[in-house]
Chain A
């Protein structure tokens, strides 16, 4: 759907100092399978560098998942501390369910970042609003 540059993974972070990949039989093998053009490929390519847009967007989704998980843990602690055991178990199950839905949504988007977003943005906002509502309910009484 979206145009892909020829070099599949330009500017891959972390491999810039991989040295010469040929003939190194050390304990760590650089570049397992994927061709790695780590040396100044963007500067020499005729078209403008794509700027690792896909990687940046994928990492942005992963950072968001980290933030979401932190909020899930805080909400789970609130439920576990402030409720009686039976209700707490139910609330923890709900928190875990919403978190699992967020993980599924985010990892699917990370895999398909080159395709249109579909409903994943509104879906993630909906899951966050669910957490807001659950936390407000816990704080109400």
Chain B
């Protein structure tokens, strides 16, 4: 699937619903809840960035950390809707759910970022 057709799926749910057959509504709702959980993860990252911007006024990396967290939160939100659309499509077509490295990458980024910030603060 090309990138633009994937982007179209985010905004055009009729196209998502045009393929395959409607799955059990429990699976659709579970997919929706997974999307919402990712959205709350994104909102937590954004809130963390806003908190760093306001409550660490003296830190020399304040703006960099805040904007990085904001960008990371935005990325998580975009990826959440993309993963929702691809999972919905896979369920309608009876295919395996799309594999994703994103959770592992996000965990690594958060861990390395926290470690780097700790070192930069202590040195």
Chain A interface (Cβ within 8 Å of chain B)? 2-3, 50-51, 53-54, 56-57, 60-61, 63-64, 67-68, 70-71, 74-75, 77-78, 81, 113-114, 116-119, 121-122, 124-125, 128-129, 131-132, 135-136, 138-139
Contact = CB atoms under 8 A, between A and B. Distances in A.
A55 to B, nearest CB: 10
Contact of B46 (A71, A121, A139): A71
A128 B74 contact: yes
B54 A81 contact: yes
> Chain A binding site: helix, strand, loop or mixed by DSSP?
helix
A124 B39 contact: yes
A139 B67 contact: yes
Given A2-B25, A70-B47, A128-B73, 17 more contacts: A53-B29, A53-B30, A60-B36, A63-B40, A64-B40, A64-B43, A74-B50, A78-B50, A119-B11, A121-B35, A122-B10, A128-B42, A128-B43, A128-B74, A132-B77, A138-B53, A139-B63
Contacts of A122: 10-11, 81
B8 to A, nearest CB: 11
A53 B25 CA distance: 9
B70 A113 contact: no
A114 B26 CA distance: 10
A135 B50 contact: yes
B81 A121 contact: yes
Interface of B: 10-11, 13, 17, 25-26, 28-30, 32-33, 35-37, 39-40, 42-44, 46-47, 49-51, 53-54, 63, 66-67, 70-71, 73-74, 77-78, 80-81, 84
Contacts of B36: 60-61, 63-64
A135 B53 contact: yes
A56 B29 CA distance: 9
Contacts of B25: 2-3, 53, 114
Nearest to B17: A116
A126 to B, nearest CB: 9
Contacts of A57: 29, 32-33
Given A60-B33, A64-B39, A139-B66, A74 B17 contact: no
